[in-house]
């Protein structure tokens, strides 16, 4: 029969549950230190944009338009080391908008593109949506560890496909000590009275979470810096 303790030669007997408690406590301390919802130091300094790597998810349609308009106001965009643009597979509209943005901005920072399977399509049934989300998460965990420029900053503004990215980089923040990805979530201008589903999921994982309506900021205890798009 297995005994729930180990015995060191010439030493005391340490109950196995004590070792489990030590491991559990250490894990909880790590989670509290890393995950933003437990950490009071959630801010992202503007100084960190210089010579850093940025990953941006373009979520199709209005989400892509809003994100590109926000990026167009970032003066330090060209001082970034690298930008990784992530789009949903088959989202030709976002790809065209991105190409136009790069040409008009005359972007000097190096950049690359990654396609990500959609986590959910508009009007997709719940079961199918769940399977699509699982597929998207598996893709992220399989492909994104190997990208050339791991992001220092991850910018998200929805929709649902942002969730696998937020989960993955939060996981990396917990398990690795050499690099931290700061997650910056900006809720869509269309969200006036409540957060989106992806926003509610990503909020505890984000180092900064901004909304664009003052009443929503008060209601959800989030940041408001005016209309950003």
CATH of the domain at 206: 3.40.50
Angle formed at CA 42 by CA 36 and CA 46, multiple of 5 degrees? 140
121 within some domain: yes
Do the Cβ atoms of 109 and 78 come closer than 8 Å?
yes
pTM for the complete prediction?
0.83
Write down the H helix ranges in 57-91: 61-72
Q: Identify whether 135 is part of a domain.
A: yes
What pLDDT is stored for residue 136 in this prediction? 92
Can you give the pLDDT at residue 1? 46
Q: What's the angle, vertex CA 209, arms to CA 134 and CA 181, rounded to 5? A: 65
Residue 5 pLDDT: 47
Report if residue 22 sits inside a domain: no
What's the mean pLDDT in 46-60?
84
Per-residue pLDDT tens digits for 4-15: 444 455 445 567
Q: Is residue 69 domain-resident?
A: yes
User: Does the residue 72 lie in any domain?
Assistant: yes
What is the DSSP code (8-state) at residue 73? T
Residue 75's pLDDT band (boundaries 50, 70, 90)? Answer: confident
User: Does residue 112 lie within any of the structural domains?
Assistant: yes
- Which domain covers residue 101, as residue numbers? 47-224
How many structural domains is the chain composed of?
1
**What are the structure tokens assigned to 110, written together?**
């190096």
pLDDT of residue 124: 66
Q: What mean pLDDT, rounded, does the chain reach?
A: 85
Residue whose token pair is 């993955």: 168
pLDDT tens readout for residues 205-219: 999 999 999 999 999
Q: Is 195's pLDDT higher than 90?
A: yes
């Amino acid at each position: 029969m297995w005994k729930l303790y180990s015995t060191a030669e010439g030493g005391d007997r340490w109950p196995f549950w004590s070792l489990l408690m030590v491991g559990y406590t250490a894990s909880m301390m790590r989670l509290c230190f890393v995950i933003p919802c437990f950490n009071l130091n959630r801010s992202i300094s503007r100084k960190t944009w210089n010579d850093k790597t940025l990953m941006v998810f373009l979520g199709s349609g209005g989400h892509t338009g809003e994100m590109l308009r926000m990026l167009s106001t970032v003066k330090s965009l060209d001082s970034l080391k690298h930008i990784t643009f992530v789009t949903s597979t088959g989202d030709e509209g976002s790809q065209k908008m991105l190409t136009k943005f790069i040409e008009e901005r005359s972007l000097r920072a190096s950049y690359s593109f990654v396609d990500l399977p959609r986590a959910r399509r508009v009007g997709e049934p719940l079961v199918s949506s769940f399977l699509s989300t699982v597929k998207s998460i598996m893709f992220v965990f399989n492909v994104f560890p190997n990208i050339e420029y791991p992001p220092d900053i991850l910018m998200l503004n929805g929709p649902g496909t942002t969730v696998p990215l937020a989960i993955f980089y939060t996981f990396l923040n917990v398990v690795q000590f050499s690099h931290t990805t700061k997650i910056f979530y900006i809720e869509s201008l269309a969200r006036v009275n409540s957060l989106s589903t992806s926003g509610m999921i990503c909020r505890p994982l984000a180092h900064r979470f901004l909304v664009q309506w003052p009443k929503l900021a008060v209601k959800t205890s989030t940041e408001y810096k005016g209309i950003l798009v």
